[in-house]
Structure 1
Amino acid sequence: MSITVRRLQSRAALSNESLDAVLSPIEREAMISAASEKLEEFLEILRIDHQNDPNTRGTPGRVARMFVDELVRGRTVAPPSLTDFENRHAYEGMIITGPIDVRSTCAHHLMPIRGEAYVAVLPSPNGKVLGLSKYDRVVDHFAARLQTQEELVQQIGNHLWENTAPTGLAVRISAVHMCRTHRGVRAANGRMVTSAYFGAFLEDASLKNEFLRECASLEVSR
């Protein structure tokens, strides 16, 4: 086992938590290589001839790279930088953005989660306003992990609340889980809705209601 792979193993973390350091390109390639070897063993256990079958030849390497570079990318890279702008006119009204695409992977069965996120912010009149595209990047960052939806919505909310200091914040995710639609009960619609509220949204029910009405309006207008 190489020194690089041993270092990677020593930095293990929970499935939806960041590693303790961003992976270097060498470490990333080492992780892909080690994962590819294990996936070869996995296919062999299933008695799939990945060496001679043209459909699965090279599949272990492709799947390993997909996981490291895409499905769990949010654990191995730094969070996106948050570009903000001066709140020059002391705007205090609600800002709602969405639907934001959510593409994640269920930590329980490694099946896709696909849905939409909505974020509402009550900016501080003396603070700053975050650029809209940054909400999309934050959602994508935390979704690129092995997730449960109830933890995903909280992670997104915690990051925005701690790093942008608004007066209030609300996050809602509505998503379909393939672990429910493609296995087990094979439900026709495996949709789940989760929300997280911070600041003024915890104290004022009318703000929550306005946020939920706007989410419903944005869903209909898609």
Structure 2
Amino acid sequence: MSQSNCLPNSAWLGNEAVEGYLDNAERAVMMAKAARKIEELFDILKVDHRNDHNTRDTPGRVAKMLVEEILYGRYNAPPNITEFDNAARYDQLIVTGPIDVRSTCAHHLMPIYGVAFIGILPSAEGKIIGLSKYDRIVQHFAARLQIQEELVKQIERHIVETTEPRGLAVRISAVHMCKTHRGVRAPHASRMVNSTFYGELATNASFKSEFLQECASLERQ
């Protein structure tokens, strides 16, 4: 198990993994405890979860959703990386996307949704990883309380540490419902776009420009 994305339990940062992750029994205990706390919250908000047929089982459903879906990436190990020999010694830019992003804002617990693009400059002497793994990596790090500025860096760090590419770029374009459904109530066309660049994709202007052009082309499609 990689410890690169784990912190001691005393930290418990919302977008970092819980040290050691959780097994099935530990997740079940967490869901049961969380359901009881959500019941308490409903009592405070004067929502009848005992007699109302619509909300009777809601605390349990919400607790299960949080542990097994919304925050899944905190309690489970990152996906295994499938590697293939770079037999053709391919060393040019690979861009994959759009990859669906579904996350939750750490500030207001509202959904973040959009797309990610990943650019990879593989090493001719190295390995090439299975294309679907990039989707799974994005999904894994999005499944926790996030801010977009840190999400791109977590994805970058994990791919760099596990695959050692010559260069890497991660770009996310997303809608934040903490902005569209509350506060200023911005239109859904309002998005946040940010990128991070590593290695030759940070230092080579030609590769960086090619990556951004491919992102624009893929998003239009």
2:212 aligned partner: 212
| Deviation of 1:12 (Å) | 5.6
Measured in 2, the distance between the counterparts of 1:194 and 1:13 equals 26
Q: CA RMSD in A?
A: 1.2
| Deviation of 1:64 (Å) | 0.3
1:28 aligned partner: 27
Q: Which amino acid aligns with 2:122?
A: P
Query: What's the TM-score once normalised by structure 1's chain length?
Result: 0.94
1:37 aligned partner: 36
1:5 aligned partner: none
2:134 aligned partner: 135
1:78 aligned partner: 77
Could you report, residue by residue, the CA deviation over 1:117-171 in whole angstroms, capped at 9, with x for unpaired residues?
A: 0000010000000110000010000000000001000000110011101111000
Q: Which amino acid aligns with 1:118?
A: F
Q: Which amino acid aligns with 1:219?
A: E
Query: How do 1:175-194 residues align onto structure 2 when only pairs under 5 Å count?
Result: 175-188=174-187, 189-194=189-194
The answer to whether the 8 A contact 1:11-1:19 is kept is no
Query: How do 1:98-113 residues align onto structure 2 when only pairs under 5 Å count?
Result: 98-113=97-112
Could you report, residue by residue, the CA deviation over 1:24-80 in whole angstroms, capped at 9, with x for unpaired residues?
A: 111100000000000000011011111111111110000000000000000000110
1:157 aligned partner: 156
Any idea what SS the aligned residue of 1:120 has? strand
Query: How do 1:2-81 residues align onto structure 2 when only pairs under 5 Å count?
Result: 13-81=12-80
Q: Which amino acid aligns with 1:193?
A: V
Instruction: Choose 74-83 or 182-191, whichever is displaced more.
Output: 182-191
Runs of 4+ in 1 over 3 A off after TM superposition: none
1:147 aligned partner: 146
* CA spacing shift, 1:136–1:113, aligned 2, 3 Å: same
| Deviation of 1:11 (Å) | 6.0
Measured in 2, the distance between the counterparts of 1:69 and 1:121 equals 30
Measured in 2, the distance between the counterparts of 1:68 and 1:107 equals 15
Query: How many pairs align?
Result: 213
Aligned-pair identity in percent equals 59
Any idea what SS the aligned residue of 1:33 has? helix
Q: Which amino acid aligns with 1:220?
A: R
Gaps of 5+ in 1: 1-9
| Deviation of 1:190 (Å) | 3.2
Instruction: Choose 201-210 or 172-181, whichever is displaced more.
Output: 201-210
Q: Which amino acid aligns with 1:190?
A: S
